[in-house]
């Protein structure tokens, strides 16, 4: 990997060398716009691509290469000259690779020179910049150089450092996960992307067909909490979970940790208990397209159900984990499992009154109202204003979640949408559900070493969303610290910015054809960067005055 780096406000100025040889094009490409192999250089190449960052912040930038013939090129990044040169170590550069020839590039891979370009196929390169904390404000320079057959194209890189550092957002970022027994360093990477919380279906692994996942591809234990029969009682083995918590703590993640007992049709925890104790597992008739897989409710099952959770709660307290333990009974239970989930909630509250329960209600107020008596935290992916009202009226926690349709959509749902909704945090689907969708997760196993992490463009977009929240928190702090008329002006400007954030179900579309009339893909990209620019202006104005 070639490394170089930046200081906070990053400005990438991209221009071709005057002696550019026909047949090889290089141009700046917005990282928010889909990466199409068929993309050609625009008729008018922007003379500069301005990007901003702050000391300690990661910031992305992308450029594209296209050749009219198959050829090998050398791609390097070189520091500039003088005191304002970008020091080595501030910047990483990756090639954006694809899962298959028929899929869109979305994986960030290290590369070795020469880089082989196919004829009329556009390749994309992702630059990640992080100036260290304490970097002085100013502009710094470096150059991306592409060499072929004795001539070169150059992309001057200009980095401007903003004169402030970002405050931490009071909101929490979290991920829906499949495997959680991750290799060393993966949770630290999660923290670097602004996340502190995880949610996982502990006993889901046992029901995944073998042919959907190569179970030999990693050393990790897929069942972090094990259940076994001990006479007439139940014994829980938390040894693997304790190792995982060690990695979570080493990575600096503050929680919460959400242990999920079942989804909207398969009750993994109760099925696992039933298998261990010889209880019958039933499959219901189809209800709204899905069959419920679960043992029947009975005094025996009820006793074992709550005993396992008591042991989990007691072990958590005994170990002194600072990350809050939260229970999700069933994911999205309104269509099939409402009454059963209410029964389980009442059992939990009777046995452990202080234990909080997480309730996923989807995107309608009516669904949330149906679940108010069986959850302590509303978790919604739509109707955000109504959900906020309910959380305040009934003293519930409030989180939102979203999926990965495109880069600007996931940036928004993990960033500005959380701020606009007034939520305590945001989760996204999905971190590493490789068996479910091998090309729609945020991280992947390296093809040569499953313990090595491969980041995706989605993963970087999530980090940008979390950074948007840090900019919002910094602006709020700057306004709070201002005095007199400046404070009032700041409040009005901050309110205006907040009100300009889209409050709909989600922001984002799959492609140009799905965009609302009168908008363009570029409008959506400019929207995200435009909000951040307004926050930067507000922070700067409050600081100067």
pLDDT at 211: 60
> Does some domain include residue 502?
yes
Of 496 and 87, the structure prediction assigns the larger pLDDT to: 496
301 close to 233: Cβ distance less than 8 angstroms: no
What is the percent of the chain with per-residue pLDDT over 70, rounded to a whole number? 88
- Regarding whether 445 and 317 lie in a shared domain, the answer is yes
Lowest mean pLDDT among 37-46, 129-138, 524-533: 524-533
Give me the chain's average pLDDT, please: 88
Shortest CA distance to 378 belongs to which of 413, 410, 424, 414? 424
What is the percent of the chain with per-residue pLDDT over 90, rounded to a whole number? 67
Q: If you average pLDDT over residues 66-90, what whole number do you get?
A: 86
- Regarding whether 510 and 434 lie in a shared domain, the answer is no
Residue 142 burial (CB < 10 Å; 0-12/13-18/19+)? buried
pLDDT band at 517 (very low <50, low <70, confident <90, very high): very low
464 close to 211: Cβ distance less than 8 angstroms: no
Lowest mean pLDDT among 182-186, 457-461, 493-497: 182-186
Q: Both tokens of residue 275?
A: 């298998």
Q: Which domain holds residue 21?
A: 3-161
- Regarding whether 208 and 145 lie in a shared domain, the answer is no
pLDDT at 213: 60
Q: Which helix (H) or strand (E) holds 192?
A: helix 186-192
pTM of the predicted structure, to 2 decimals: 0.91
pLDDT at 22: 58
- Regarding whether 274 and 142 lie in a shared domain, the answer is no
Of 458 and 509, the structure prediction assigns the larger pLDDT to: 458
- Domain termination residue (choose one: 137, 161, 185): 161
> Does some domain include residue 253?
yes
- Regarding whether 181 and 150 lie in a shared domain, the answer is no
CA 275 to chain centroid, in Å, comes to 35
- Regarding whether 379 and 303 lie in a shared domain, the answer is yes
* pLDDT tens, residue by residue, 311-345: 999 999 999 999 999 999 999 898 899 999 999 99
Shortest CA distance to 443 belongs to which of 425, 462, 427? 462
Q: If you average pLDDT over residues 399-424, what whole number do you get?
A: 92
Q: Give the Å distances, CA to CA, from 442 to 292, 407, 408, 438, 457.
A: 30, 11, 14, 10, 8
HEC secondary structure over 332-366: CHHHCCHHHHHHHHHHHHHHCCCCCEEEEEECCHH
CA 371 to chain centroid, in Å, comes to 27
pLDDT band at 278 (very low <50, low <70, confident <90, very high): very high
379 close to 260: Cβ distance less than 8 angstroms: no
Q: If you average pLDDT over residues 223-235, what whole number do you get?
A: 94
- Regarding whether 478 and 536 lie in a shared domain, the answer is yes
- Regarding whether 72 and 113 lie in a shared domain, the answer is yes
pLDDT at 18: 38
Of 485 and 18, the structure prediction assigns the larger pLDDT to: 485
Q: If you average pLDDT over residues 78-85, what whole number do you get?
A: 77
pLDDT at 507: 41
- Domain termination residue (choose one: 98, 131, 161): 161
- Regarding whether 193 and 271 lie in a shared domain, the answer is yes
Question: How many whole angstroms separate alpha carbon 381 and alpha carbon 369?
Answer: 15
Which residues, including other chains, have CB under 8 Å from residue 428's CB and lie 6 or more apart? 174, 175, 176, 401, 402, 403, 404, 410, 413, 414, 442, 462
> Does some domain include residue 109?
yes
* pLDDT tens, residue by residue, 426-452: 999 999 988 888 899 999 988 888 888
> Does some domain include residue 143?
yes
Q: What is the CATH number of the domain that holds 131?
A: 2.60.40.10
Of 57 and 201, the structure prediction assigns the larger pLDDT to: 57
Q: Which helix (H) or strand (E) holds 189?
A: helix 186-192
Altogether, the residues listed in the chain come to a count of 545
pLDDT at 14: 40
DSSP character at residue 99: S
Q: What is the CATH number of the domain that holds 431?
A: 3.20.20.80
> Does some domain include residue 166?
no
Question: How many whole angstroms separate alpha carbon 13 and alpha carbon 90?
Answer: 17
Lowest mean pLDDT among 19-23, 152-156, 383-387: 19-23
Which residues, including other chains, have CB under 8 Å from residue 128's CB and lie 6 or more apart? 58, 59, 60, 91, 92, 93, 94, 460
pLDDT at 522: 61
130 close to 193: Cβ distance less than 8 angstroms: no
pLDDT at 448: 86
Q: If you average pLDDT over residues 132-144, what whole number do you get?
A: 90
- Regarding whether 464 and 355 lie in a shared domain, the answer is yes
- In this predicted structure, the answer to whether residue 16 has a pLDDT above a threshold of 50 is no
pLDDT at 37: 94
H runs (alpha helix) in 379-483: 384-393, 407-413, 416-421, 457-481
Shortest CA distance to 507 belongs to which of 392, 396, 419, 376? 419
- Regarding whether 220 and 148 lie in a shared domain, the answer is no
> Does some domain include residue 297?
yes
Question: How many whole angstroms separate alpha carbon 419 and alpha carbon 77?
Answer: 36
Question: How many whole angstroms separate alpha carbon 34 and alpha carbon 522?
Answer: 11
Question: How many whole angstroms separate alpha carbon 54 and alpha carbon 543?
Answer: 15
pLDDT at 227: 96
> Mean pLDDT highest for which of 39-43, 135-139, 153-157, 188-192?
188-192
> Does some domain include residue 167?
no
Q: Cis omega (within 30 of 0) on the bond before 370?
A: no
Tokens 């992308």 sit at which residue?
62
- Regarding whether 481 and 467 lie in a shared domain, the answer is no
> Does some domain include residue 27?
yes
Q: Give the Å distances, CA to CA, from 512 to 179, 291, 323, 408.
A: 34, 37, 42, 13
- Domain termination residue (choose one: 473, 490, 506): 473
pLDDT band at 136 (very low <50, low <70, confident <90, very high): very high
pLDDT band at 529 (very low <50, low <70, confident <90, very high): confident
Render the burial of 167-179: b for 16+ CB within 10 Å, e for the rest: bebebbbbbbbbb
- In this predicted structure, the answer to whether residue 6 has a pLDDT above a threshold of 50 is no
Shortest CA distance to 478 belongs to which of 430, 388, 399, 542? 542
Question: How many whole angstroms separate alpha carbon 307 and alpha carbon 233?
Answer: 8
**Overall number of domains in the chain:** 3
57 close to 7: Cβ distance less than 8 angstroms: no
């Amino acid at each position: 990997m070639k490394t170089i780096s930046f200081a906070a406000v990053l400005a990438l100025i991209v221009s071709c060398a005057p002696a550019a040889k026909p047949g090889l094009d290089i141009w700046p490409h917005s990282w928010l716009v889909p990466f199409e192999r068929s993309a050609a250089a625009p008729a008018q190449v922007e003379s500069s691509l301005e990007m901003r960052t702050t000391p300690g912040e990661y910031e992305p930038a992308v450029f594209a290469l296209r050749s009219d013939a198959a050829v090998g090129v050398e791609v390097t990044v070189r520091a500039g000259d003088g005191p304002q040169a970008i020091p080595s170590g501030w910047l990483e550069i990756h090639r954006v690779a694809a899962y298959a020839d028929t899929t869109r590039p979305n994986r960030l891979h290290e590369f070795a020179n020469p880089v082989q370009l196919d004829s009329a196929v556009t390749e994309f390169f992702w630059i990640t910049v992080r100036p260290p904390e304490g970097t002085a404000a100013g502009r710094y320079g470096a150059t991306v150089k592409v060499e072929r057959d004795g001539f070169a194209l150059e992309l001057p890189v200009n980095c401007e450092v903003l004169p402030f550092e970002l405050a931490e957002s009071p909101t929490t970022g979290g991920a829906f996960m499949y495997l959680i027994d991750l290799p060393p360093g993966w949770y630290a990477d999660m923290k670097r992307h602004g996340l502190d919380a995880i949610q996982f279906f502990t006993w889901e692994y046992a029901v995944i067909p073998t042919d959907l996942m190569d179970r030999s591809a990693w050393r990790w234990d897929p069942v972090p909490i094990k259940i076994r029969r001990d006479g007439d009682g139940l014994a829980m083995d938390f040894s693997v979970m304790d190792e995982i918590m060690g990695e979570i703590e080493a990575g600096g993640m503050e929680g919460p940790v959400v242990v999920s007992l079942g989804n909207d049709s398969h009750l993994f925890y109760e099925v696992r208990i039933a298998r261990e104790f010889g209880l019958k597992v039933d499959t219901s008739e189809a209800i709204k397209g899905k069959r419920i897989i679960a043992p029947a409710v009975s005094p025996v099952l009820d006793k074992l159900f709550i005993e396992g959770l008591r042991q989990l709660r007691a072990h958590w307290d005994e170990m002194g984990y600072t990350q809050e333990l939260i229970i999700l009974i069933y994911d999205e239970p309104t269509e099939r499992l409402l009454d059963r989930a209410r029964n389980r909630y009442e059992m939990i509250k009777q046995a452990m009154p202080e234990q909080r329960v997480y309730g996923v209600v989807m995107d309608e107020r009516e669904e949330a109202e149906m679940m108010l008596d069986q959850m302590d935290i509303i978790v919604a992916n739509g109707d955000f204003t109504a959900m906020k009202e309910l959380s305040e009226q009934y003293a519930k926690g409030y989180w939102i979640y979203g999926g990965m349709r495109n880069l600007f959509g996931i940036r928004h749902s993990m960033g500005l949408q959380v701020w606009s909704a007034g939520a305590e945090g945001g989760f996204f689907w999905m971190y590493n559900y490789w068996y479910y969708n091998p090309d729609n997760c945020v991280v992947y196993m390296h093809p040569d070493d499953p313990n090595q992490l491969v980041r995706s463009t989605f993963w970087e977009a999530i980090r940008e969303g979390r950074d948007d929240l840090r900019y919002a928190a910094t602006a709020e702090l700057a306004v709070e610290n201002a005095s007199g008329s400046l404070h009032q002006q700041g409040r009005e400007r901050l309110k205006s910015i907040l009100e300009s954030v889209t409050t709909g179900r989600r922001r984002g579309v799959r492609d140009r054809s799905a965009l609302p009339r009168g908008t363009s893909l570029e409008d959506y990209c400019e929207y995200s960067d435009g909000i951040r620019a307004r926050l930067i202006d507000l922070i700067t104005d409050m600081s100067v005055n």
